[in-house]
Structure 1
Amino acid sequence: MDFETVMAELEALGKERTKKTYISNGAHEPLFGVATGAMKPLAKKIKKNQPLAERLYATGNYDAMYFAGVIADPMAMTEADFERWMDAAYFYMLSDYVVAVTLSETDFAQAVADRWIASGEELRMSAGWSCYCWLLGNRPDSEFSESKMAGMLDQVRNTIHECPDRTKSAMSNFIYTVGISYLPLHDKAVETAKAVGPVEIGRNNKKSSVSVPSENIQKAVARGQLGFKRKYVRC
Protein backbone atom coordinates (compact mmCIF):
# COMPACT_ATOMS: atom_id res chain seq x y z
CA MET A 1 0.00 0.00 0.00
CA ASP A 2 1.52 3.33 -1.03
CA PHE A 3 1.75 6.62 0.85
CA GLU A 4 -1.09 8.38 -1.01
CA THR A 5 -3.48 5.45 -0.44
CA VAL A 6 -2.70 5.33 3.29
CA MET A 7 -3.26 9.09 3.66
CA ALA A 8 -6.60 8.79 1.83
CA GLU A 9 -7.64 5.84 4.04
CA LEU A 10 -6.73 7.75 7.21
CA GLU A 11 -8.65 10.81 6.04
CA ALA A 12 -11.72 8.63 5.38
CA LEU A 13 -11.50 7.25 8.94
CA GLY A 14 -11.42 10.72 10.51
CA LYS A 15 -14.23 11.90 12.76
CA GLU A 16 -14.86 15.52 13.72
CA ARG A 17 -15.59 14.62 17.35
CA THR A 18 -12.32 12.69 17.69
CA LYS A 19 -10.47 15.56 16.04
CA LYS A 20 -11.87 18.01 18.63
CA THR A 21 -10.77 15.68 21.44
CA TYR A 22 -7.23 15.48 20.08
CA ILE A 23 -7.05 19.25 19.65
CA SER A 24 -8.22 19.74 23.25
CA ASN A 25 -5.29 17.54 24.33
CA GLY A 26 -2.71 19.57 22.38
CA ALA A 27 -2.86 18.35 18.78
CA HIS A 28 -3.04 20.93 16.01
CA GLU A 29 -3.74 20.99 12.27
CA PRO A 30 -3.16 19.09 10.10
CA LEU A 31 -5.06 16.10 11.51
CA PHE A 32 -8.08 13.97 10.57
CA GLY A 33 -9.28 12.72 13.97
CA VAL A 34 -8.83 8.95 13.59
CA ALA A 35 -9.55 6.78 16.64
CA THR A 36 -6.57 4.53 17.34
CA GLY A 37 -8.73 1.39 17.24
CA ALA A 38 -9.92 2.30 13.75
CA MET A 39 -6.31 2.10 12.53
CA LYS A 40 -5.94 -1.60 13.37
CA PRO A 41 -7.37 -3.11 10.14
CA LEU A 42 -5.11 -0.84 8.08
CA ALA A 43 -2.11 -1.76 10.23
CA LYS A 44 -2.83 -5.48 9.74
CA LYS A 45 -2.68 -5.04 5.96
CA ILE A 46 0.62 -3.15 6.05
CA LYS A 47 2.39 -4.77 9.03
CA LYS A 48 5.86 -3.20 9.52
CA ASN A 49 7.06 -0.77 6.86
CA GLN A 50 9.77 1.65 7.94
CA PRO A 51 10.09 3.65 4.68
CA LEU A 52 6.33 4.26 4.68
CA ALA A 53 6.41 5.09 8.40
CA GLU A 54 9.09 7.71 7.75
CA ARG A 55 7.04 9.38 5.00
CA LEU A 56 3.93 9.43 7.19
CA TYR A 57 5.77 10.80 10.22
CA ALA A 58 7.31 13.59 8.12
CA THR A 59 3.86 14.92 7.13
CA GLY A 60 3.32 16.64 10.48
CA ASN A 61 -0.25 15.29 10.34
CA TYR A 62 -1.02 13.94 13.82
CA ASP A 63 -2.94 10.87 12.64
CA ALA A 64 -0.27 10.01 10.07
CA MET A 65 2.44 10.45 12.71
CA TYR A 66 0.57 8.19 15.13
CA PHE A 67 0.04 5.55 12.45
CA ALA A 68 3.74 5.78 11.58
CA GLY A 69 4.48 4.57 15.10
CA VAL A 70 2.07 1.65 14.66
CA ILE A 71 3.78 0.37 11.47
CA ALA A 72 7.37 1.41 12.30
CA ASP A 73 10.11 -1.21 12.47
CA PRO A 74 12.05 -0.23 15.63
CA MET A 75 14.90 -2.59 14.70
CA ALA A 76 15.45 -0.56 11.51
CA MET A 77 15.71 2.72 13.47
CA THR A 78 18.89 4.23 14.90
CA GLU A 79 19.31 6.45 17.95
CA ALA A 80 19.59 9.40 15.55
CA ASP A 81 16.23 8.43 13.99
CA PHE A 82 14.58 8.56 17.40
CA GLU A 83 16.12 11.95 18.13
CA ARG A 84 14.69 13.18 14.81
CA TRP A 85 11.25 11.76 15.61
CA MET A 86 11.42 13.32 19.06
CA ASP A 87 12.28 16.73 17.56
CA ALA A 88 8.99 16.60 15.61
CA ALA A 89 6.88 15.31 18.55
CA TYR A 90 5.15 18.55 19.46
CA PHE A 91 2.88 17.28 22.26
CA TYR A 92 2.71 14.43 24.74
CA MET A 93 0.53 12.04 22.70
CA LEU A 94 3.37 11.89 20.17
CA SER A 95 6.31 11.98 22.59
CA ASP A 96 4.89 9.42 25.07
CA TYR A 97 2.56 7.25 22.97
CA VAL A 98 4.39 7.15 19.63
CA VAL A 99 8.10 7.86 20.09
CA ALA A 100 8.57 6.37 23.58
CA VAL A 101 6.50 3.29 22.76
CA THR A 102 8.45 2.59 19.57
CA LEU A 103 11.76 3.24 21.34
CA SER A 104 10.85 0.69 24.03
CA GLU A 105 11.14 -2.13 21.47
CA THR A 106 14.82 -1.39 20.74
CA ASP A 107 17.98 -2.71 22.38
CA PHE A 108 19.18 0.84 23.16
CA ALA A 109 15.93 2.06 24.77
CA GLN A 110 17.37 2.64 28.24
CA ALA A 111 20.39 4.59 26.95
CA VAL A 112 18.23 6.97 24.91
CA ALA A 113 15.59 7.29 27.66
CA ASP A 114 18.33 8.13 30.20
CA ARG A 115 19.62 10.87 27.90
CA TRP A 116 16.14 12.32 27.47
CA ILE A 117 15.43 12.26 31.22
CA ALA A 118 18.63 14.27 31.77
CA SER A 119 17.85 16.74 28.95
CA GLY A 120 15.83 19.28 30.93
CA GLU A 121 13.29 19.49 28.06
CA GLU A 122 9.69 18.81 29.11
CA LEU A 123 8.64 16.41 26.34
CA ARG A 124 12.00 14.64 26.11
CA MET A 125 11.93 14.05 29.87
CA SER A 126 8.32 12.91 29.62
CA ALA A 127 9.20 10.49 26.80
CA GLY A 128 12.17 9.15 28.76
CA TRP A 129 10.13 8.36 31.87
CA SER A 130 7.30 7.00 29.72
CA CYS A 131 9.70 4.73 27.86
CA TYR A 132 10.67 3.14 31.18
CA CYS A 133 6.97 2.62 31.94
CA TRP A 134 6.54 0.76 28.63
CA LEU A 135 9.73 -1.24 29.27
CA LEU A 136 8.88 -2.21 32.86
CA GLY A 137 5.35 -3.18 31.84
CA ASN A 138 6.59 -5.55 29.16
CA ARG A 139 10.06 -6.93 29.85
CA PRO A 140 11.21 -9.38 32.54
CA ASP A 141 12.34 -7.83 35.84
CA SER A 142 15.79 -9.38 35.29
CA GLU A 143 16.48 -6.92 32.44
CA PHE A 144 16.65 -3.98 34.86
CA SER A 145 19.21 -2.92 37.43
CA GLU A 146 17.50 -2.82 40.81
CA SER A 147 19.90 -0.16 42.10
CA LYS A 148 19.30 1.99 39.01
CA MET A 149 15.51 1.73 39.36
CA ALA A 150 15.80 2.58 43.08
CA GLY A 151 17.86 5.66 42.19
CA MET A 152 15.23 6.70 39.66
CA LEU A 153 12.51 6.40 42.30
CA ASP A 154 14.61 8.63 44.57
CA GLN A 155 15.00 11.14 41.75
CA VAL A 156 11.23 11.24 41.27
CA ARG A 157 10.64 11.63 45.00
CA ASN A 158 13.07 14.57 45.20
CA THR A 159 12.15 16.45 42.00
CA ILE A 160 8.64 15.62 40.77
CA HIS A 161 6.86 18.66 42.18
CA GLU A 162 9.33 21.07 40.53
CA CYS A 163 9.15 19.45 37.08
CA PRO A 164 7.09 20.61 34.06
CA ASP A 165 3.55 19.23 33.86
CA ARG A 166 3.98 16.51 31.23
CA THR A 167 7.16 15.30 32.93
CA LYS A 168 5.31 15.20 36.25
CA SER A 169 2.60 13.04 34.68
CA ALA A 170 5.14 10.56 33.28
CA MET A 171 7.04 10.44 36.60
CA SER A 172 3.79 9.72 38.45
CA ASN A 173 3.16 6.86 36.00
CA PHE A 174 6.70 5.64 36.62
CA ILE A 175 6.09 5.30 40.38
CA TYR A 176 2.89 3.38 39.63
CA THR A 177 4.53 1.13 37.03
CA VAL A 178 7.46 0.23 39.30
CA GLY A 179 4.95 -0.48 42.08
CA ILE A 180 2.92 -2.87 39.92
CA SER A 181 5.20 -4.27 37.22
CA TYR A 182 8.66 -4.40 38.88
CA LEU A 183 8.31 -6.68 41.88
CA PRO A 184 11.80 -6.19 43.42
CA LEU A 185 10.91 -2.56 44.27
CA HIS A 186 7.20 -2.80 44.98
CA ASP A 187 7.65 -1.75 48.62
CA LYS A 188 9.97 1.13 47.74
CA ALA A 189 7.54 2.35 45.08
CA VAL A 190 4.72 2.32 47.66
CA GLU A 191 6.89 4.34 50.08
CA THR A 192 7.83 6.77 47.30
CA ALA A 193 4.19 7.20 46.30
CA LYS A 194 3.24 8.02 49.89
CA ALA A 195 6.11 10.50 50.24
CA VAL A 196 5.22 12.23 46.96
CA GLY A 197 1.51 12.48 47.73
CA PRO A 198 -0.96 13.98 45.21
CA VAL A 199 0.61 15.30 41.99
CA GLU A 200 -1.12 18.26 40.37
CA ILE A 201 -0.78 18.32 36.58
CA GLY A 202 -1.73 21.40 34.57
CA ARG A 203 -3.50 20.80 31.24
CA ASN A 204 -4.09 22.90 28.11
CA ASN A 205 -6.77 25.48 28.94
CA LYS A 206 -8.42 22.93 31.23
CA LYS A 207 -8.73 22.42 34.95
CA SER A 208 -5.62 20.78 36.42
CA SER A 209 -5.80 17.05 37.05
CA VAL A 210 -4.50 15.37 40.19
CA SER A 211 -2.70 12.04 40.14
CA VAL A 212 -2.34 10.07 43.38
CA PRO A 213 0.18 7.26 42.71
CA SER A 214 -0.33 5.59 46.12
CA GLU A 215 -4.08 5.21 45.51
CA ASN A 216 -3.50 3.98 41.96
CA ILE A 217 -1.09 1.30 43.19
CA GLN A 218 -3.53 0.19 45.92
CA LYS A 219 -6.39 -0.11 43.41
CA ALA A 220 -4.26 -2.16 41.00
CA VAL A 221 -3.14 -4.50 43.79
CA ALA A 222 -6.77 -4.92 44.85
CA ARG A 223 -7.60 -5.91 41.25
CA GLY A 224 -4.91 -8.61 41.39
CA GLN A 225 -2.58 -6.84 38.93
CA LEU A 226 0.63 -7.05 40.94
CA GLY A 227 3.34 -8.36 38.62
CA PHE A 228 1.41 -7.31 35.48
CA LYS A 229 3.31 -7.50 32.17
CA ARG A 230 1.94 -6.67 28.73
CA LYS A 231 2.48 -9.19 25.96
CA TYR A 232 2.85 -6.42 23.36
CA VAL A 233 3.75 -2.77 23.79
CA ARG A 234 2.37 -1.37 20.54
CA CYS A 235 -1.20 -1.91 19.39
Structure 2
Amino acid sequence: MHDMTLAEALGELAALEDPKMRAANEKRGDDHGINLSRMRAVAKKIKTDQPLAQELWSTGETAARLLALLICRPRDFTADELDAMLRETRPPKVNDWFVNYVAKKTPLAEEMRLRWFDDPDPTVAAASWSLTSVRVAKDPAGLDLPHLLDLIERDMKDAAPRPQWSMNETLATIGIHHPSLRARALEIGERLQVLADYPTAPGCTSPFAPIWITEIVRRREG
Protein backbone atom coordinates (compact mmCIF):
# COMPACT_ATOMS: atom_id res chain seq x y z
CA MET A 1 0.00 0.00 0.00
CA HIS A 2 1.32 3.48 -0.84
CA ASP A 3 1.73 6.10 1.87
CA MET A 4 -1.42 8.14 2.29
CA THR A 5 -1.23 11.64 0.81
CA LEU A 6 -2.48 14.76 2.56
CA ALA A 7 -5.48 14.95 0.18
CA GLU A 8 -6.38 11.32 0.89
CA ALA A 9 -6.07 11.78 4.65
CA LEU A 10 -8.25 14.92 4.57
CA GLY A 11 -10.75 12.99 2.39
CA GLU A 12 -10.94 10.20 5.00
CA LEU A 13 -11.57 12.78 7.74
CA ALA A 14 -14.22 14.61 5.68
CA ALA A 15 -16.07 11.31 5.18
CA LEU A 16 -16.29 10.83 8.97
CA GLU A 17 -17.74 14.30 9.67
CA ASP A 18 -21.05 14.08 11.55
CA PRO A 19 -23.09 17.27 12.21
CA LYS A 20 -24.52 15.95 15.52
CA MET A 21 -21.06 15.05 16.76
CA ARG A 22 -19.82 18.51 15.70
CA ALA A 23 -22.58 20.23 17.68
CA ALA A 24 -21.67 18.21 20.80
CA ASN A 25 -17.93 18.81 20.37
CA GLU A 26 -18.32 22.54 19.74
CA LYS A 27 -20.00 22.97 23.13
CA ARG A 28 -16.67 21.86 24.61
CA GLY A 29 -14.64 24.12 22.32
CA ASP A 30 -13.57 21.36 19.88
CA ASP A 31 -14.43 22.41 16.33
CA HIS A 32 -14.67 19.04 14.59
CA GLY A 33 -17.40 16.47 14.05
CA ILE A 34 -15.56 13.16 14.14
CA ASN A 35 -16.02 10.22 16.45
CA LEU A 36 -12.55 9.78 17.95
CA SER A 37 -12.53 5.98 17.79
CA ARG A 38 -13.15 6.28 14.04
CA MET A 39 -10.31 8.76 13.81
CA ARG A 40 -8.06 6.29 15.64
CA ALA A 41 -8.99 3.67 13.03
CA VAL A 42 -7.75 6.01 10.26
CA ALA A 43 -4.53 6.58 12.23
CA LYS A 44 -4.06 2.82 12.58
CA LYS A 45 -4.33 2.46 8.80
CA ILE A 46 -1.69 5.18 8.24
CA LYS A 47 0.60 4.02 11.11
CA THR A 48 3.46 6.43 11.93
CA ASP A 49 4.11 9.02 9.23
CA GLN A 50 5.98 12.09 10.41
CA PRO A 51 5.98 14.01 7.06
CA LEU A 52 2.20 13.53 6.72
CA ALA A 53 1.71 14.51 10.36
CA GLN A 54 3.53 17.78 9.72
CA GLU A 55 1.42 18.47 6.61
CA LEU A 56 -1.79 17.73 8.51
CA TRP A 57 -0.70 20.01 11.37
CA SER A 58 0.04 22.88 8.98
CA THR A 59 -3.58 22.89 7.70
CA GLY A 60 -4.56 24.45 11.04
CA GLU A 61 -7.76 22.35 11.08
CA THR A 62 -8.70 20.69 14.37
CA ALA A 63 -9.55 17.25 12.93
CA ALA A 64 -6.38 17.22 10.82
CA ARG A 65 -4.31 18.21 13.85
CA LEU A 66 -5.82 15.46 16.00
CA LEU A 67 -4.93 12.91 13.32
CA ALA A 68 -1.43 14.41 13.09
CA LEU A 69 -0.92 13.86 16.82
CA LEU A 70 -1.89 10.18 16.44
CA ILE A 71 0.55 9.45 13.58
CA CYS A 72 3.53 11.67 14.42
CA ARG A 73 6.85 10.57 15.90
CA PRO A 74 7.33 12.76 19.02
CA ARG A 75 11.13 12.38 19.02
CA ASP A 76 11.35 13.94 15.54
CA PHE A 77 10.17 17.38 16.65
CA THR A 78 12.72 20.01 17.67
CA ALA A 79 12.27 22.05 20.85
CA ASP A 80 11.19 25.09 18.81
CA GLU A 81 8.64 23.03 16.85
CA LEU A 82 7.18 21.67 20.10
CA ASP A 83 6.99 25.18 21.51
CA ALA A 84 5.23 26.57 18.41
CA MET A 85 2.78 23.63 18.31
CA LEU A 86 1.83 23.95 21.97
CA ARG A 87 1.04 27.66 21.54
CA GLU A 88 -1.47 26.75 18.82
CA THR A 89 -3.34 24.07 20.79
CA ARG A 90 -6.42 26.14 21.63
CA PRO A 91 -9.11 23.42 21.21
CA PRO A 92 -9.18 21.34 24.42
CA LYS A 93 -8.82 17.94 22.72
CA VAL A 94 -5.85 19.10 20.58
CA ASN A 95 -4.22 20.42 23.76
CA ASP A 96 -4.92 17.23 25.69
CA TRP A 97 -3.53 14.96 22.95
CA PHE A 98 -0.51 17.19 22.32
CA VAL A 99 0.46 17.16 26.00
CA ASN A 100 -0.18 13.43 26.52
CA TYR A 101 0.94 11.96 23.19
CA VAL A 102 3.78 14.32 22.23
CA ALA A 103 5.08 16.52 25.08
CA LYS A 104 5.19 13.62 27.57
CA LYS A 105 6.77 11.26 25.01
CA THR A 106 9.53 13.44 23.56
CA PRO A 107 13.10 12.97 24.86
CA LEU A 108 13.02 16.78 25.24
CA ALA A 109 10.26 16.61 27.90
CA GLU A 110 12.45 17.92 30.72
CA GLU A 111 13.94 20.68 28.58
CA MET A 112 10.41 21.76 27.58
CA ARG A 113 9.11 21.52 31.16
CA LEU A 114 11.75 24.03 32.26
CA ARG A 115 11.35 26.25 29.19
CA TRP A 116 7.57 26.48 29.66
CA PHE A 117 7.51 26.79 33.46
CA ASP A 118 6.90 30.50 34.01
CA ASP A 119 5.39 31.28 30.63
CA PRO A 120 2.70 34.00 30.71
CA ASP A 121 0.55 31.99 28.24
CA PRO A 122 -1.71 29.81 30.46
CA THR A 123 -1.76 26.97 27.88
CA VAL A 124 2.04 26.84 27.94
CA ALA A 125 2.35 27.06 31.73
CA ALA A 126 -0.27 24.31 32.07
CA ALA A 127 1.79 21.94 29.89
CA SER A 128 4.80 22.54 32.14
CA TRP A 129 2.76 21.59 35.22
CA SER A 130 1.51 18.43 33.43
CA LEU A 131 5.13 17.43 32.73
CA THR A 132 5.97 18.28 36.36
CA SER A 133 3.26 15.84 37.54
CA VAL A 134 4.89 13.07 35.50
CA ARG A 135 8.29 13.78 37.11
CA VAL A 136 6.80 13.94 40.61
CA ALA A 137 5.39 10.45 40.08
CA LYS A 138 8.21 8.79 38.12
CA ASP A 139 11.47 10.67 38.60
CA PRO A 140 11.30 13.13 41.51
CA ALA A 141 15.06 13.25 42.17
CA GLY A 142 16.26 16.82 41.81
CA LEU A 143 12.79 18.37 42.13
CA ASP A 144 12.19 20.75 45.05
CA LEU A 145 8.80 19.37 46.05
CA PRO A 146 8.22 21.73 49.03
CA HIS A 147 8.91 24.67 46.69
CA LEU A 148 6.39 23.29 44.16
CA LEU A 149 3.84 23.14 46.99
CA ASP A 150 4.69 26.79 47.86
CA LEU A 151 4.01 27.83 44.24
CA ILE A 152 0.75 25.84 44.10
CA GLU A 153 -0.37 27.32 47.43
CA ARG A 154 0.38 30.83 46.14
CA ASP A 155 -0.93 30.62 42.56
CA MET A 156 -3.46 27.81 42.06
CA LYS A 157 -6.55 29.56 43.44
CA ASP A 158 -6.40 32.44 40.92
CA ALA A 159 -4.82 30.58 37.99
CA ALA A 160 -6.55 30.31 34.59
CA PRO A 161 -8.49 27.04 34.10
CA ARG A 162 -5.78 25.06 32.25
CA PRO A 163 -2.84 25.76 34.60
CA GLN A 164 -5.17 25.48 37.59
CA TRP A 165 -6.15 21.96 36.49
CA SER A 166 -2.48 20.97 35.94
CA MET A 167 -1.28 22.50 39.23
CA ASN A 168 -4.06 20.63 41.01
CA GLU A 169 -2.86 17.42 39.33
CA THR A 170 0.69 18.11 40.60
CA LEU A 171 -0.69 18.79 44.10
CA ALA A 172 -2.54 15.47 44.12
CA THR A 173 0.46 13.61 42.66
CA ILE A 174 2.75 14.97 45.40
CA GLY A 175 0.19 13.93 48.04
CA ILE A 176 -0.20 10.44 46.56
CA HIS A 177 3.46 9.59 45.89
CA HIS A 178 5.25 11.41 48.73
CA PRO A 179 3.87 10.42 52.16
CA SER A 180 6.08 12.91 54.02
CA LEU A 181 4.35 15.79 52.18
CA ARG A 182 0.86 14.28 52.16
CA ALA A 183 -0.50 16.19 55.16
CA ARG A 184 0.63 19.50 53.67
CA ALA A 185 -0.82 18.63 50.24
CA LEU A 186 -4.16 17.73 51.85
CA GLU A 187 -4.13 20.93 53.90
CA ILE A 188 -3.45 23.12 50.83
CA GLY A 189 -6.24 21.37 48.90
CA GLU A 190 -8.74 21.80 51.78
CA ARG A 191 -7.89 25.47 52.25
CA LEU A 192 -7.96 26.47 48.57
CA GLN A 193 -11.09 24.41 47.73
CA VAL A 194 -10.09 24.33 44.03
CA LEU A 195 -12.40 21.94 42.07
CA ALA A 196 -14.22 21.06 45.32
CA ASP A 197 -17.57 21.33 43.52
CA TYR A 198 -16.44 19.71 40.26
CA PRO A 199 -19.29 17.53 38.90
CA THR A 200 -18.06 13.93 39.13
CA ALA A 201 -19.86 10.95 37.57
CA PRO A 202 -20.76 7.99 39.81
CA GLY A 203 -17.83 5.57 40.07
CA CYS A 204 -15.28 8.27 39.14
CA THR A 205 -12.85 9.91 41.55
CA SER A 206 -13.32 13.63 42.14
CA PRO A 207 -10.43 15.83 40.95
CA PHE A 208 -10.69 17.76 44.26
CA ALA A 209 -7.19 17.06 45.60
CA PRO A 210 -8.08 15.92 49.18
CA ILE A 211 -10.64 13.39 47.87
CA TRP A 212 -8.34 12.32 45.00
CA ILE A 213 -5.29 11.82 47.26
CA THR A 214 -7.24 9.95 49.95
CA GLU A 215 -8.98 7.66 47.45
CA ILE A 216 -5.85 6.69 45.46
CA VAL A 217 -3.78 6.14 48.62
CA ARG A 218 -6.56 3.93 50.01
CA ARG A 219 -6.54 1.84 46.81
CA ARG A 220 -2.77 1.57 46.69
CA GLU A 221 -2.43 0.62 50.33
CA GLY A 222 -5.64 -1.43 50.53
Please classify the TM superposition score into its range, dividing by the shorter chain length. Answer: 0.7 to 0.9
Q: How many residues are treated as equivalent by the alignment?
A: 210
- C-alpha root-mean-square deviation of aligned residues, in Å? 2.8
Q: Using the TM superposition, give the Cα deviation of residue 120 of structure 1 relative to its aligned residue in structure 2, in angstroms.
A: 1.4
The one-letter amino acid paired with 2:209 is P
Alignment of 1:214-225 (within 5 A): 214-222=210-218, 224-225=219-220
Alignment of 1:195-214 (within 5 A): 195-199=191-195, 212-214=208-210
Alignment of 1:172-187 (within 5 A): 172-180=168-176, 182-183=177-178, 187=182
CA contact (8 A) 2:122 2:162 kept: yes
Change (3 A) 1:42 1:91: closer
Q: 2: distance between equivalents of 1:79 and 1:131?
A: 15
2:131 maps to 131
Q: Using the TM superposition, give the Cα deviation of residue 152 of structure 1 relative to its aligned residue in structure 2, in angstroms.
A: 1.9
Deviations 1:123-176 (A, max 9, x none): 11122222334x359xx73x2336434322321121111211222122122222
DSSP 3-state at the match of 2:157: helix
Task: Kindly indicate whether structure 1 or structure 2 has the higher relative contact order, using CA contacts under 8 Å at least 6 residues apart.
Answer: 1
TM-score scaled by structure 1? 0.76
DSSP 3-state at the match of 1:162: coil
2:65 maps to 65
DSSP 3-state at the match of 1:161: coil
Higher strand share: 1
Check if 1:157 corresponds to 2:153: yes
The one-letter amino acid paired with 1:124 is V
TM-score scaled by structure 2? 0.80
Check if 1:106 corresponds to 2:106: yes
Report which of the two structures shows the higher radius of gyration computed on alpha carbons: 2
Q: 1: distance between equivalents of 2:12 and 2:60?
A: 17
Match of 2:164 among 168, 181, 190: 168
The one-letter amino acid paired with 2:18 is K
